């Protein structure tokens, strides 16, 4: 009798644990699903603000996907170093949201060309660009492909390759070899502080280097 009672109790305990475990597992799955859905919504619509110029304080959207918007302090510092951009041509490689190109246009740059390989970002980038009066154009292709095909020169070039991407120096070399930066023009690249780059790359000469937290911004000019 005691053996049967014990057996029934163990069965009841096992079923109870299994039942409650299944409920807890379902609740965890539901919470995770809701959180991911909310994060997904946030990723689609989280806004950034233009820090200066004609469109100062205007909001732009950050598209869904792997993206690292440049911090406000870094953008303000970068454009302070560049100075007046009136009628200067500007190329933004790895544009992401289009934020840097729009900041340049806000400060008078024209034309502004933006390059992004992720087609998913196109809709939001085009929405962001719609606020501009200045000449602009988005090219949907990899940065290296655009550099190779480019047949014009720019006054200013900005590169913001993904932090995990290895071999960033190849983009600097490609820009120099292809001759897409005008003489005395400025090329900038945003990268993590654990990396470093030569002071001289062909005709490109480093003239400034700034650190913002884990980020660094290197400036070259073409002699």
51 lies in some domain: no
211 lies in some domain: yes
Summarised one tens digit per residue, pLDDT across range 55-80 is: 999 998 887 665 566 678 899 999 99
178 lies in some domain: yes
111 lies in some domain: yes
How, if at all, do strands 112-116 and 90-93 pair? parallel
175 lies in some domain: yes
11 lies in some domain: no
Q: Exposed, middle or buried, 121 (CB in 10 Å: 0-12/13-18/19+)?
A: buried
> Residues of the chain with pLDDT > 90: what percent?
71
Summarised one tens digit per residue, pLDDT across range 88-139 is: 999 999 999 999 999 999 999 999 999 999 999 999 999 999 999 999 999 9
195 lies in some domain: yes
Summarised one tens digit per residue, pLDDT across range 161-181 is: 999 999 999 999 999 999 999
Predicted TM-score of the model (pTM): 0.78
- The answer to whether the beta carbons of residues 184 and 153 sit under 8 Å apart is no
Cα distance between residue 10 and residue 18, in whole Å: 12
Looking at residue 1, what DSSP letter applies? Answer: -
User: Which residues pair with residue 215 across a beta bridge?
Assistant: 192, 212
Summarised one tens digit per residue, pLDDT across range 175-223 is: 999 999 999 999 999 999 999 999 999 999 999 999 999 999 999 999 9
The reported pLDDT for the residue numbered 47 is 74
- The answer to whether the beta carbons of residues 140 and 122 sit under 8 Å apart is yes
Contacts of 81 (CB under 8 A, 6+ apart): 208, 210, 219
Number of domains in the chain: 1
Domain range for residue 166?
66-222
CATH code where residue 186 lies: 3.40.50.150
196 lies in some domain: yes
């Amino acid at each position: 009798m005691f053996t049967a009672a014990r057996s029934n109790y163990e069965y009841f305990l096992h079923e109870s644990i299994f039942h409650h475990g299944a409920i807890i597992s379902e609740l965890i799955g539901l919470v995770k699903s809701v959180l991911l859905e909310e994060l997904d919504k946030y990723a689609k619509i989280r806004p950034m603000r233009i820090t200066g110029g004609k469109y100062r304080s205007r909001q732009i959207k950050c598209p869904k996907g792997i993206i690292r918007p440049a911090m406000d302090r870094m953008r303000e510092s970068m454009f302070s170093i560049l100075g007046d951009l009136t009628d200067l041509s500007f190329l933004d490689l790895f544009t992401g949201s289009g934020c840097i190109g729009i900041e340049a246009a806000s400060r008078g740059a024209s034309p502004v060309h933006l390059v992004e390989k992720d087609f998913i970002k196109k809709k939001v980038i085009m929405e962001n660009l719609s606020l501009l009066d200045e000449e602009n154009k988005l090219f949907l292709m990899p940065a290296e492909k655009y550099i190779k095909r480019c047949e014009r020169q720019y006054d200013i070039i900005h590169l913001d390759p993904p932090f995990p991407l290895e071999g960033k120096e190849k983009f600097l070399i490609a820009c120099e070899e292809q001759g897409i930066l005008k003489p005395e023009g400025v090329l900038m690249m945003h990268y993590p502080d654990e990396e470093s780059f030569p002071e001289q790359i062909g005709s490109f000469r480093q003239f400034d280097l700034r650190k913002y937290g884990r980020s660094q911004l290197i400036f070259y000019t073409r002699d």
